Amino acid sequence: MEFVSGYPDYMLESTDQVERTRDRRLDESIELMSLEERDEVLRRYHPDYKESGKRALRLGPNKGDSVPHEIADLIETHPLINPAEIDLIHLDFDLDILIIGGGGAGMTAALWANYSGVKPEDILIIQKLRMGDSNSVMSQGGIQIADKPYDSPVIHYLDALGGGHFTSNPELVRTLVLDAPTILRWHEKLGVEYDKEPNGDMITLPCGGSSKKRLHSARDYTGMEIIRNIKDEVINEELPFIEFTSAVELIMDDSDRVAGAVLYNMETQQYYVARAKATILATGGFGRLHIQGFQTTNHYGATADGIVLAYRVGARLRDMDSVQYHPTGAAYPEQIVGLLVTEKVRNLGAQPVNRYGEQFVNPLEPRDVEASAIIRECYEKGGGIETPTGMIGVWLDTPMIEIIRGEGTIEKSLPAMFRQNRRFGIDMRKSPILVFPTLHFQNGGVEMINDRTETTVKGLFAAGEVTGGTHGKNRLMGNSILDYSVYGRRAGIHAAEYTKKISVGRLTLNHVERYEAMLREAHVETDMRSPILLPEYRGERALSHSLDIL
Amino acid sequence: MVEKILTESKVNIYVMGKEYEVPSNLTIMKAMEYIGYRFVRGAGCRGGFCGACATVYRMKDEYRLRMALACQETVQNGMYLAQIPFTPANKAMYDVDKLEPSGNTLLIHYPEIARCLCCNTCTKACPQELEVMNIVQAALRGDFEEVAQLSFDCISCGLCAMRCPAEIVPYNVALLGRRVYGKYIMPKSREIEKAVKETKRGRYNGELKNLAEMGLDELKKMYEEREID
């Protein structure tokens, strides 16, 4: 098969049908599902409900809980390090706060720890890739904040709780919505260029699962715009960070508190020992595990390292059975399969339609419901269209945006999407784009037990996608930037507070040996080791002939 | 679903001079992985947002040096390519609260912008197809709005800085320009101020407390009956 610029002929026949029904569909809307209907489509089509995709954990604080095999495989696995080889006496870093992860949550935490009085030299951020390389930088659509006269945090609370099927920790949702305006004001003071009206008030859009227009964006580069501002602040404030270095094991002290981590320089392959009074886990999510074989929108480092590290010190997890599949990942062309097609495309008016150009779901259902309806359309109702490389997808009718909101809207409001498609010969102003659900977000994670971002283990704080509790079993669009901002900030503030009260005892890695004993007791037999740090994408031939010589 | 269905047709590419045959429908990044490279540097978001995979290449028998993001560009037959793992770039240090939105702020922090030769090499280097030279010229004039508008889609990949004969780092100049524009020139939202005040004075605490104490059935009913705009 030759690479085709734009769509092959047989797909163009279907886009013609989409075009023919467009005028009619402009006035046609499909009703939102009732709670019962949602339940039904989720149970039958959402990948989370596929029992064969999961198994019960055999050890640790969540023993018996059902989690995806890909997660169980990482948890029921040997540590990367042998404690006997690590010298805990000679410290490389002696800190107040160690922050593991340099994405949105980690950098926000560092800044707020500093604002709270912790000196830059007592903070260290370690980051596996470059500073800011994270899912945060890729979030396109925007952030939910109830700042409009027609809206209120109370409605935001109800939307978020219901969107998560009433499975979240209400305290965490409450703080999420109440801290939201403070975050927006902070961003504004940093210079983040949100889309604004001429009088300075924010332009807001509707978002899936929410009852009011509450989405604040910076074109479709919202995450990137926020991250480049806070990264610039981290540099200006001279907060220390080390790139291409990861945490491979947490360290504890003799009073069972987390007291730092063993770090690993991924370029020179040497380890460092960092002692810290407080450790903030901000390692992000797990998209690169490709749960159930799904493509992902996530960045290269999203490999669940934080889950593994936290579980080894006995931290409890929650909602790990729940994975967010974004309803609209790119399904064509092959080069960009799985990448995010921001929900903002639907917020601006594009409808998902089948191969015959007919709507089959309201464009603004909560994400899990929307994704399930698309899977149903493709795999049960036969309304999908197959690409030359075997992906099945439905159309997202982007030309509607220009009809509803005026010519030029796509280039102005969706420059990233426009550019990405144009690179492969597709003009989304004129043709629809093909989409299929893609693995997007880790709904659950290390349990945050209160809004001070504490976990079940003393000395270990957590913020952002690595945590569980805020979104229950489904996160609404626009609540992830908010989550890492609100709880990143709080992690910085509360970790700073905590460091004033404690002194670290003797460092130990005994928990690593205890973990090995648990693996033996549970009869786990494996050669695998974790955290994995990076996914494995090398070609089959290259891998099967690789020798470990140099 | 993750298994690549690789196309039959192949192209030959040269990674840092070594020739490999790869499927023709892969991006540069995926082609290098197919060959056996495992990235530590040079891969980030893999979606065109982070600028980690800046790549330079030259086509066989062509004089021109081309720039791309490895995650966003399809391989072509005869591509000689290398990645730029890091850009040693000058970044001015400043306290954003003490900046002034005055005409020479950018020039004070980045005096080298006055060395711009207007050669447009930066523009040709930009994988986002931004008008980089015009950004630098707007910076020189102190036109923050123009800098902000033209540079908004910049992903800081570093390629413009590596090509600039005047040793300007356009992406950091633009970052400062946007921050000044966003902080000092864009009008502030009064609605946000109001929302912050009202949440701080506890306006919503009572209602939220009621919701928190409500039984699940009642809460679900309220959710279903909420007004949707």
Task: Name the token pair of B21.
Answer: 């045959």
Q: Which residues of A touch B184 (CB under 8 A)?
A: 191
Distance CA A284, CA A302 (A): 6
Asked if residues A251 and A507 have their Cβ atoms less than 8 Å apart, the reply is yes
Mean pLDDT of A348-368: 96
How far apart CA A404 and CA A97 sit, in angstroms, is 50
Distance CA A256, CA A252 (A): 6
* Mean pLDDT value across residues B47-61: 95
Q: Which of A179, A236, A297 sits opposite B47 (nearest CB)?
A: A297
Name the E strands within A113-219: 123-126, 143-144, 204-205, 215-216
Indicate the pTM of the whole model: 0.96
Q: Of B83, B81, B75, B82, which is closest to residue B22 (Cα–Cα)? A: B75
HSE of B152, CA atoms in CB hemisphere, 13 A? 25
Residues of A in contact with B9 (CB under 8 A): 1-3
Beta pairing class for A258-265 and A271-281: antiparallel
Phi, then psi, of B156 in degrees rounded to 5: 55, 45
- Please tell me the CATH code under which domain A9-30+325-439 is placed: 3.90.700.10
Q: Where are the domains of chain B?
A: 10-83, 96-185
- Condensed to tens digits (0 to 9), the pLDDT of residues A381-431 reads 999 999 988 899 999 999 999 999 999 999 999 999 999 999 999 999 999
Mean pLDDT, residues B138-153 taken together: 97
What is the per-residue pLDDT across A99-128, written as a single tens digit (0 to 9) for each?
999 999 999 999 999 999 999 999 999 999
Q: Which residues of A are catalytic?
A: 326, 346
Provide the 3-class DSSP secondary structure of residue A481. helix
- Name the superfamily (CATH) of residues A83-322+443-508: FAD/NAD(P)-binding domain (3.50.50.60)
pLDDT computed for residue A6 by the predictor: 86
**B168 reaches A (C-beta below 8 A):** no
A210 within 8 A of A144, measured Cβ to Cβ: yes
In this prediction, residue A208 has a pLDDT band, given cuts at 50, 70 and 90, of confident
Q: Which CATH superfamily is domain B96-185 in?
A: Alpha-helical ferredoxin (1.10.1060.10)
User: Is B114 an 8 Å CB contact of chain A?
Assistant: no
Euclidean distance between CA atoms A513 and A423, whole angstroms: 51
CATH architecture of B10-83: Roll (3.10)
**Using CA of residue A194, residue A198, residue A200, residue A202, what is the dihedral sign?**
negative
- Contact across the interface for A166 and B216, Cβ inside 8 Å: yes
The answer to whether the CB atoms of A335 and B27 lie below 8 A apart is yes
- Smallest Cβ–Cβ distance between A147 and the set B50, B181, B195 belongs to B195
- Best mutation site among A29, A147, A533 for testing chain B: the one with the most B CBs within 10 Å? A147
**Mean pLDDT throughout B44-48?**
93
Measured distance CA(B26)–CA(A13) in Å, rounded: 26
8 Å CB contact of A130 and B193: no
* Residue B160 in contact with partner chain A when CB distance is under 8 A: no
Q: Looking at residue B3, what is its pLDDT?
A: 45
Q: For residues A66 and A461, give the distance between their C-alpha atoms in angstroms, rounded to a whole number.
A: 24
CA distance A42 to chain B (A): 17
Give me the mean pLDDT over the B31-49 stretch: 95
Residue in A137, A225, A295 nearest the CB of B1: A295
Which one, of B134, B32, B166, B165, lies nearest residue B154 by Cα? Answer: B134
Domain ranges of chain A: 9-30+325-439, 83-322+443-508
Note whether ipTM > 0.90 here: yes
Please compute the mean of the pLDDT values over residues A274-302 and round it to a whole number.
97
CA distance A421 to chain B (A): 10
| Contact: B156, A228; criterion CB under 8 Å | yes
- What secondary structure does DSSP assign to chain B, as a single string? --S----S-EEEEEETTEEEEEETTSBHHHHHHHHT---SSS-SSSSSSS-TTEEEEEETT---EEEEETTT-B--TTEEEEE------------GGG---STTHHHHH-GGGGG-----HHHHH-TT---HHHHHHHHHHT-HHHHHHHHTT----SHHHHH-TT---HHHHHHHHHHHIIIIISPPPHHHHHHHHHHHTTTTHHHHHHHHHS-HHHHHHHHHHS---
Which residue in A has a C-alpha nearest to residue B73's C-alpha?
A423
Whether A83-322+443-508 and A9-30+325-439 are alike in CATH topology: the answer is no
Residues 34-93 of B with CB under 8 A from A: 34-41, 43-50, 52, 72-74, 91, 93
pLDDT over 90 at A548, yes or no: no
Neighbours of B218 (CB within 10 A): 11
* Among candidates A130, A149, A191 on the partner chain, residue whose Cβ is nearest the Cβ of B44: A130
**Residues in chain B closer than 8 A to A162 (CB atoms):** 220, 223
pLDDT value at residue B6: 61
Task: Return the residue in A50, A143, A185, A193 with the most chain B beta carbons within 10 A, the one to mutate for interface testing.
Answer: A193
Contact A352, A328 (CB under 8 A): yes
* A201 contacts B45? CB cut-off 8 A: no
What's residue A436's pLDDT?
A: 97
Return the exposure string of A241-264: e unless at least 16 CB atoms fall within 10 Å of the residue's CB, then b.
Answer: bbbbbbbbbbbbbeebbbbbbbbb
Q: Classify residue A32 by its DSSP letter.
A: P
**Token pair 């000395």 is at which residue?**
A459
Closest Cβ–Cβ partner in B1, B9, B148 for A293? B1
Task: Flag if B199 and A188 touch (Cβ within 8 Å).
Answer: no
B20 touches chain A (CB under 8 A): no
Task: Judge whether B225 is closer than 8 Å to chain A, CB to CB.
Answer: no
- Both tokens assigned to B38: 């495992």
